[in-house]
A and B are shown apart, each in its own frame.
Chain A
Amino acid sequence: MAPGLLWLLGLYGLPLLALVPLSLSQPLSRFGLETVFSGRVANYLEVLQAYGPILGRSLGYAVVATALGLLLAYPLAFAIRFRGGRWQPLLIGLVVLPSLSSYLVRAIAWTSLLGDGGPVLGLVAALGLTGPLDALGVLRDGRLLNTATAVILGLTNNLLPFLVLPLVVAMERIDPRLLEAAADLHAGPWRCFARVVWPLSRPGLAAGILLSLIPAAGDVVNPLFLGGPNERMIANTIENLLLVQMQAPRAAALTLVLMALITLAVLLQLRGRGLEELPLP
Chain B
Amino acid sequence: MNRIGGLLLGLASALAYGLLYAPVVVMVLFSFNAPRGRFNLRWQGFTLENWRHPLRDAALNEAFLTSLGLALAAALLAVLLGGLMALALGRARLRGGRAIELLLALPLTNPEIVLATALLNLYVGVGLPRGPLTLVLSHSLFCLSYAALTLKARLAGFDPTLELAAQDLGAPPLQAFRRVTLPLLVPGLLAAALLSFSLSFDDYVVSSFTAGEIVTLPLYLAGAFQREISPQIQVLSTLVLLVSAALLVLASPSRQGRR
Q: Which residues of A contact B (CB under 8 A)?
A: 1, 3-5, 7-9, 11-16, 18-19, 22, 33-34, 71-76, 78-79, 83, 89, 93-98, 100-113, 115, 117-118, 153, 156-157, 160-161, 164, 189-190, 193, 210, 214-215, 217-221, 224-225, 234-235, 238-239, 242-243, 248, 251-252, 255, 258-259, 262-263, 266, 275, 278, 280-281
Contact = CB atoms under 8 A, between A and B. Distances in A.
Chief secondary structure at chain B's binding surface: helix
A157 B15 CA distance: 11
B98 A275 contact: yes
A281 B217 contact: no
Nearest to B140: A7
Contacts of B8: 75
A190 to B, nearest CB: 7
B23 A275 contact: no
A123 to B, nearest CB: 12
Nearest to A267: B109
Interface stretch (B48-56, B144-152, B162-170): B144-152
B17 A94 contact: yes
A235 B26 contact: no
Given A101-B27, A189-B2, A275 B252 contact: no
A112 B62 CA distance: 26
Contacts of B87: 1
A266 B41 contact: no
Nearest to B249: A93
B200 interface: no
B208 to A, nearest CB: 7
Contacts of A78: 9
B24 A106 contact: yes
Which of B105, B117, B137, B140 counts the most chain A CB atoms within 10 A? Answer: B117
Contacts of B89: 1
Contacts of A281: 146, 150, 195
Contacts of A263: 109-110
Contacts of B253: 89
Given A98-B21, A193-B1, A220-B204, A105 B113 contact: no
Nearest to B120: A242
8 contacts: A15-B121, A97-B245, A108-B221, A160-B16, A190-B5, A225-B225, A239-B208, A275-B105
Contact of B23 (A8, A93, A157, A266): A157
Nearest to A11: B141
A225 to B, nearest CB: 6
